[in-house]
Structure 1
């Protein structure tokens, strides 16, 4: 199974590598500067000792630690053995260390410098061994061991601090991940929680905004499907009814004129479905654009819709009264069709026995029903979707709309003038 890269592990390893490398480099520098410092101290001490002593050829000055001579051959044989070449430069320390390791002091050390006192050359040498070191200094832990222990302790502390810091940083990230994973349509309405760090809060808002946009698209799609299923019922019913009628006419040899009328009604219902779909898409997209205007004969539209909706009054005792004119106006045809269709359908659906009166004059349309038994007529405007769709369309164009409760009925009126 292929392991997926983890950002947390990557950051942890990079920081560990950086920290450990820094500690090791600093430890190496400490060792270097320690040795360099010891050499400088030895050089300064030997130089001072060479300036103080008076020597002649063949008579070197010897003390417990240092030997000062005027000639190279007057120095101890061990110095000449381990430092094989006579120093050529003044005030430069030459040394030879025997034995020893980072955890163990050396067995012996041989040191020599060449100095100038006035116009006379002096050679200063020193031989240090382990026994002399133990006598002259208190017994302490080797310096290299101290540096190594300090480096290991620093690495351990750095690792612990880094792990604690990573935990403190990754906990809000885990919270953000779990929050984003559990987001639903209800939580999108709530403000994003605080994730302690501004960058995570910005990321949470970006996630919330993106998912909110997706949710809005889904809501619009669901809205469109709901509206479409509601509004397409009438033209679908018209197509089915007239298809059955056409089959009967064909089987019984009906006249071509009647068959053509039925075909025209089917074709008109198909065009209505196309217009309805385009209008509903326009409404759910909320693009802010107005639909194109066309010449609309409201009286003819009302009569056509009543004819298409007559299937709703089968088995009912309803008297329909229609008063219209033939005036033509510049209106969005499909929107007017949807609104008037919803209002007429609602009146017919909620009237079991009684009358429905439809009046149209210019751009004004009123629809009233009178029921022998009152049943909340027009209150729901077509099972909810009709009410929502009609209200949205009317408010979109700011048309004048009234819904009045009457005795055993309801009257709605709308003015399509702008």
Structure 2
């Protein structure tokens, strides 16, 4: 991704080069046209001078100019260097003509004498290249154009640098402030950037208000649910002690109540964590990932009631003891297991606990609506992993869902 400074400077330099290229093209074109005008003017002057002097045309009035009454009078040794016969008022040229050891610029001009004879005459002119007169003028012109081009590019680059420096400074301040929008908004000298800052601040405040309302609602909801859930679970424990298992008809209802109570307990803990989203005060503890997995499997086993499902556990490392935030790891593994149990109806669930990762794979049925394997549990796992900068990957196929969390 390019920096804004580089983009501005490159575009200004490109514009400068285009302008100088156009300027150079027209400068050379104008120079060439000017040379032709000078040559034509001198050729006409030579013609008029010799006509007034001799009242007739001489084949060789000077060493530099020759005047002929017709095209056929021009020697073949000269015509062979000319690209074509000039029309009236036209100048044709060849920039290289050799006569002996000398080299010339050759010009042929068809002049219509409306002042004296009302006839066309062909004027041939030579300019000796050995004197380098025109070349010196040409080189001088090229040097002047080159110097002007360099000066123009330097001035443009300097102007672009100073202009972009001010713009980049303002945008850099805006970018730094966007990373910490709780700080005061920087004062912008440009109206457009100030409008962007105002829009960002308004959006940030709106998002903050929404998050605060959401967190407040989740906290209140989780706290309001905790009391009745605790009473419900305590009542089920009391019924268990009083021997409700001796009454088969009531025991089935008791198990449904117990499962629902545990599910609501896990859900409220997840909602409470979502409301806090603060892991700064969580102290790492030394836990055994494999033992935690067995404990959570037993705790969630009621979700497999009346399901033809097998559990297969393979240890992913020699040791499964690790120093991690135990609360977060428990929430993650518990939600992954619950999600797999809830969205599986048959087959085998493969679990691989390790020191630095946890993998679980469950089978799904393509003819059911909830085969995505996703639920609020996976949303919570994703939230925790993002906050802790842990890796969380989901791989879905038509027949299975694999979830992997790596915390180190």
What's the TM-score, normalizing by structure 2?
Answer: 0.49
What's the TM-score, normalizing by structure 1?
Answer: 0.48
Instruction: Pick the structure with greater CA Rg.
Output: 1
